[in-house]
């Protein structure tokens, strides 16, 4: 008998405890907002993230105690004016509210009529049976029904290499080692910027790729890489492989914290990340009575890897479709000189000492083509020049040997003043060139092993990445 009585008392105590926690509340507060947003979707927003984009009315779910009333006042922060106020009926046991996350409580749902975009404060006051204010809570919230505003697409700096980053159709390539970025500047939004997604759209309207842009709050700009930068002449992974022969579009969507979306106007562009079609076709041979090059009767034989040549420098001939040659297409290849052409192809000759390299420039970038070749010198061919080392003189440092030199801010501004090159002696005059600036630095006489000449290149103080 005692055991049964104990169980009954325990059950009674437990019931009272639950009732106290469920029915009693000393403060009223907003738990969440519910509404149909401007896109027609049903939304539930917690009080802790009060960014609202309602299409018309919206609801405030209020927690309150039994036998209490709640007076609700909405005030515009800009001028502290009340835009809406109401007092609920007394909360009873029938006023059980279920929230979006499944929690249940006693309270009231108040429907607030449409109000203009802006920052507001919602005040909840509990009134007792005599309409005396028992407690007050206030919560800020934002009404934002307009997506972010911004500038159109841009490239923050002109990357050179004949790229076009203005007008309705951009022409882009891989440039050099410095990164090239796509930007959307001057992003503004009432509720706060959330994210930016940029897509590459193919001509048929399908999505080639997409990228979540990096956002800098200080400059209010979102950016995405077009090229990798950091010493690599390469496209960013999300950019397409193309020979500037397909017209793509950049398309971006800007999202704010209230759930609004703005589409940035599309930007048409072509992009060159492929060297396209070309072939190492022939080699000059003065002793050949025939020629594989159209329109030329003698002096050129078919190239084959590992072949032996009698001349040094060797003259290589490349066969390139006309549409992939710089003179006929900005995105085409540029190197050497024109030997001849027919209706479909150009034939470009490039002379180089065997064992040394040269550069095939793709459109809109430095280099980009494969200039490798494989020939052997015969016993009668002259030996190629061979650089052993070099040293440079920098105005604020002095002389330093070949290799990577780490400069610091105290070294700038400064200027390269001269370079000395050390080579294997040869029985002919050797010339050392500054290919970047296009001049002969110095010459090395037969039997000599070095020369020194002017090499002028200034570097100013500042930030950035400079390849030279």
Q: Quick one: 65 and 102 in the same domain? A: yes
Do 254 and 299 share a domain, yes or no? no
| Whether residues 404 and 346 fall in one domain | no
What Å distances lie between residue 77 and 104, 118, 141, 259, CA to CA? 31, 8, 10, 22
347 belongs to a structural domain? yes
Residues 373 and 400 in one domain: no
Three-state secondary structure call for residue 361: strand
pLDDT in tens, 286-344: 999 999 999 999 999 999 999 999 999 999 999 999 999 999 999 999 999 999 999 99
| Residue 399 forms part of a structural domain | yes
Instruction: Look at residue 308 in the predicted model and tell me its pLDDT.
Output: 97
Confidence of residue 464 (pLDDT cuts 50, 70, 90): low
**What pLDDT, on the 0 to 100 scale, is given for residue 409?**
82
CA distance 84 to 90: 20
Whether residue 31 lies inside any domain: the answer is yes
* Whether 10 and 139 share a structural domain: yes
Last residue of a domain, one of 353, 377, 401: 377
pLDDT tens-digit map of 195-248:
999 999 999 999 999 999 999 999 999 999 999 998 899 999 999 999 999 999
Mean pLDDT across the stretch 47-55?
A: 96
148 found inside a domain = no
In a domain, residue 465? The reply is no
pLDDT at 447 over 90: yes
Question: Given the DSSP bridges, would you call strands 42-46 and 29-36 parallel, antiparallel or unpaired?
Answer: antiparallel
Shared domain for 13 and 34, answered yes or no, is: yes
Structural domain total, the chain: 4
* 113, 187: one domain: no
Q: Give residue for tokens 């006309």.
A: 322
Residue ending a domain, among 123, 143, 163, is: 143
Of 112, 143, 174, the residue that ends a domain is 143
Contact (Cβ atoms closer than 8 angstroms) between residue 148 and residue 193: yes
The verdict on 183 and 304 lying in the same domain is no
Asked, for residue 467, whether it belongs to a domain, the answer is no
What residues contact 301, with CB distance under 8 A and at least 6 apart?
282, 283, 285, 288, 290, 291, 292
Whether 10 and 133 share a structural domain: yes
Does 245 fall in a domain?
A: yes
Is residue 256 situated within a structural domain?
A: yes
122 shares a domain with 80: yes
pLDDT at 467: 53
- Whether 352 and 309 share a structural domain: yes
pLDDT tens per residue, range 4-39? 333 333 333 333 233 333 434 456 789 999 999 999
Please tell me whether residues 305 and 373 are part of one structural domain: yes
Domain that holds residue 372: 279-377
Query: Could you tell me the pTM of the whole model?
Result: 0.81
Q: How many CB atoms lie within 10 A of CB 17?
A: 10
Indicate the average pLDDT of the chain.
91
């Amino acid at each position: 008998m005692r055991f049964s009585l104990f169980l009954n008392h325990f059950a009674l105590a437990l019931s009272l405890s639950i009732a106290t926690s469920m029915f009693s509340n000393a403060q009223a507060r907003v738990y969440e907002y519910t509404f149909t947003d401007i896109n027609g979707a049903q939304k539930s927003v917690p009080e802790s993230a009060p960014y609202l984009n309602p299409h018309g009315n919206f609801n405030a779910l209020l927690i309150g105690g039994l036998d209490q009333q709640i007076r609700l006042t909405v005030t515009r922060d800009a001028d502290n004016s009340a835009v809406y106020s109401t007092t609920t009926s007394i909360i009873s046991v029938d006023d059980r509210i279920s929230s979006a996350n499944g929690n249940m409580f006693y309270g009231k749902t108040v429907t607030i009529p449409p109000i203009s975009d802006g920052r507001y404060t919602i005040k909840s006051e509990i009134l007792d049976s005599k309409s005396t204010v028992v407690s007050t809570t206030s919560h800020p919230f934002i009404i934002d029904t307009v997506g972010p505003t911004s500038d159109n697409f841009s490239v923050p700096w002109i990357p050179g290499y004949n790229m076009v980053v203005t007008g309705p159709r951009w022409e882009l390539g891989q440039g050099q080692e410095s990164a090239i970025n796509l930007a959307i500047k001057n992003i503004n939004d009432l509720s706060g910027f959330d994210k930016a997604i940029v897509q590459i759209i193919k001509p048929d309207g399908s999505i080639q790729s997409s990228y979540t842009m990096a956002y800098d709050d200080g400059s209010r700009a979102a950016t995405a890489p077009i090229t990798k930068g950091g010493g690599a002449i390469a496209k960013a992974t999300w950019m397409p492989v193309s020979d500037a022969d397909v017209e793509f579009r950049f398309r971006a969507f800007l999202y704010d914290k209230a759930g609004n979306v703005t589409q940035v106007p599309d930007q048409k562009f072509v992009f060159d990340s492929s060297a396209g079609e070309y072939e190492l076709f022939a080699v000059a041979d003065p002793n050949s009575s025939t020629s594989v090059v159209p329109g030329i009767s003698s002096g050129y034989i078919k190239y084959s890897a590992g072949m032996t040549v009698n001349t040094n420098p060797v003259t290589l001939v490349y066969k390139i479709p006309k549409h992939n040659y710089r003179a006929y297409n900005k995105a085409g290849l540029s190197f050497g000189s024109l030997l001849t052409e027919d209706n479909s192809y150009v034939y470009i000759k490039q002379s180089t000492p065997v064992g040394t390299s040269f550069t095939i420039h793709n459109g809109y970038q430095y280099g980009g083509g494969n200039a490798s070749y494989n020939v052997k010198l015969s016993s009668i061919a002259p030996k190629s020049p061979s650089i052993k080392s070099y040293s440079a003189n920098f105005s604020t440092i002095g002389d330093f040997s070949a290799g990577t030199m780490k400069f610091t801010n105290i070294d700038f501004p400064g200027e390269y003043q001269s370079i000395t090159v050390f080579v294997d002696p040869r029985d002919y005059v050797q010339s050392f060139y500054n290919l970047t600036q296009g001049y002969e630095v110095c010459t090395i006489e037969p039997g000599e092993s070095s020369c020194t000449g002017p090499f002028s290149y200034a570097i100013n103080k500042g930030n950035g990445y400079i390849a030279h």
